[in-house]
Amino acid sequence: MENTTINFRRERDFGEVFGATFDFIRQEFKKFGTVILYYVLPFLVISALLMILAQYNYKNVFSSISGSPEAVFSFFGDMFLYWLLLMLSVLLTQTMIISATYSYVSLYVKKGRDGFTIPDVWEKMKGFILPVLGTNFVVGLIVIIGFVACLIPGIYLGVSLSIIFAALIIEEKGFGSAFSRSFELTKQNWWMTLLIVFIATLLVYILALIIQIPAMAIGIGSFWTTIQESIANQGKMVDPSSFFNTTYIIVTSISNVLVYIIYIVPNLILSFWYFSLLETKEKPSLMEKIEKIGE
């Protein structure tokens, strides 16, 4: 497995999709990790810094509550600005992760594991950054509207559009064509796609909890210290901003940002599932073999 190219273009069952994903991560950890380091890490650093600034702004709000409540409103403008910039940086980070992952997979499938370089990945992905950004925003909006209208439409749309980025980048389709393609490929295996999306989401949730254990431990420690100080002061309310100490803010921000890296895993899982759906429906690899025999 270490010295051979993993075959994406074959039908896989549920277990094989997840097994192939982790085989791919083990095999390509160094090269793919370098891609993430070069093209995603800068956005992660920006997100971490913005999250630190936003939490410090929260701390200032709590300080003003314990001092002069009227001063709270003076912080709202800054808080809104910080969180707006943070949301934009998160969206850009997700865009870079999606673009890098599917571009890497596309080159891996077309050229083999040793047939392309890290700059080749950038050449591929840079043309899809804006399309992925727009698609990410539109799909997110559509799914949210579906959930708000009724839970079931939101689930249906989310599952049906789960492989839209594979169609967008690997097949190099426009938004409309990728949108239709995702529905087309998932409709015959919608329930299995739902199961794969659910397990992939659950996996991300579990890994995220593990990453956030240090932050949760520091948070519990800070909360307990605040309670003890309140008891020592005979029930007098302690400044709530003391809960947001510098260590807690930095560790929480870094932990939250690191969680975004985990989203590489479900994108890889959906890459394998996309090719499996493609082989089930159209069998392109079989057609290529028949053409070669004819030649």
Query: What is the per-residue DSSP string for 83-142?
Result: HHHHHHHHHHHHHHHHHHHHHHHHHHHHH-TTS--HHHHHHHHTTTHHHHHHHHHHHHHH
For the beta carbon of residue 42, count every other beta carbon within 10 angstroms: 13
* Average confidence (pLDDT) over 233-253: 64
For the beta carbon of residue 188, count every other beta carbon within 10 angstroms: 11
Among 48-52, 60-64, 142-146, 253-257, the range scoring the smallest mean pLDDT is 60-64
Q: Which of 161-175, 222-236, 256-270 has the highest mean pLDDT?
A: 161-175
For the stretch 41-67, pLDDT in tens is 888 888 888 877 777 766 665 555 554
Higher pLDDT, 257 or 197: 197
Q: Among 109, 230, 252, which residue's Cα sits nearest to residue 171?
A: 109
Q: What is the CA radius of gyration of the chain?
A: 23
| The predicted structure's pLDDT at residue 260 | 83
Tell me the average pLDDT of the chain.
83
